[in-house]
Amino acid sequence: MIAVFLGPPGSGKGTQAARLAARAGVPAISTGDMLRQAAAAGTPLGLRAKAIMDAGELLPDGVIVDLIRDRIAQPDATKGFLLDGFPRTSGQAEAFEKMLADSGMKVDAVINLMVDEGRLVERMANRGRVEGRTDDNPETIRERLRVYREKTAPLVAWFEKSGTLVNVDGLGEIDEVSRRIDDAVARGGERGSARAAAVRA
Ligand code: AMP
């Protein structure tokens, strides 16, 4: 299974991607986690990423696309993978589509986690306190939401056109949201088979 988690920062993508990954037996790949690890290790990429992350901005598409290309080529991703935090721009989405097409793969489901903005700020501020994320402070949170609206939100319509998008209410208990995601993925799978049957007919 290949699935993408879409949704604003603080919508629970990381938590839910990790849970679905455990159930599906595929890795959850988080570009944010990879960049935070690189920053902690003090690699050149990590140092560059840290400044951009702390400002709430995005790394250049080319850097992120290379990171993903290498990661999904790892042996643990041969049966599929879940993406949390990628793609985040139309350039990344197009590069990803091409990457998949070149290797004969396709996205099974794009899970759009919906949470209203007032709740996001509150969630991220709490997360910053618990996890010590330096980009979970009020000023950076506002910038990350602005960047999300400008660069990432348009991908919802983009994936809708490809027929893979499923909207999931991201508010509520973690277990409840996981159940909604399981249902949505099952529905997405049925739609995918219907499409395949239509193509064969
Ligand atoms: P996240 O943990 O997904 O909220 O990502 C934290 C930060 O990492 C973002 O605010 C960006 O600065 C950077 N980042 C993560 N994923 C991407 C991406 N796909 N494209 C550009 N920057 C990214």
Query: Does the beta carbon of 112 sit less than 6 angstroms from any atom of ligand 1?
Result: no
Whether the per-residue pLDDT at 189 is higher than 90: the answer is no
Task: Give percent of the chain above pLDDT 90.
Answer: 79
Query: Does the beta carbon of 38 sit less than 6 angstroms from any atom of ligand 1?
Result: no
What letter does residue 134 receive in the DSSP assignment? Answer: T
The neighbouring-strand residues paired with 166 are 111
In which residue are the tokens 């589509």 written? Answer: 97
Q: Which two tokens stand for residue 77?
A: 């991703």
Residue 127 known to be catalytic: yes
Q: Using the atom order of ligand 1, give the atom closest to the CA of residue 53.
A: 12
Question: Please, are residues 12 and 115 in contact by the beta-carbon 8 Å criterion?
Answer: yes
pTM (2 d.p.): 0.93
CA 194 to ligand 1 centroid distance, Å: 34
Rounded distance between C-alpha atoms, residue 168 and residue 76, angstroms: 27
Whether the per-residue pLDDT at 197 is higher than 80: the answer is no
Mind listing the pLDDT tens digit for each residue in 53-96?
999 999 999 999 999 999 999 999 999 999 999 999 999 999 99
Q: Which residue has the higher pLDDT, 193 or 3?
A: 3
Residue 133 known to be catalytic: yes
Q: How many helices (H) and strands (E) does the chain have?
A: 9, 5
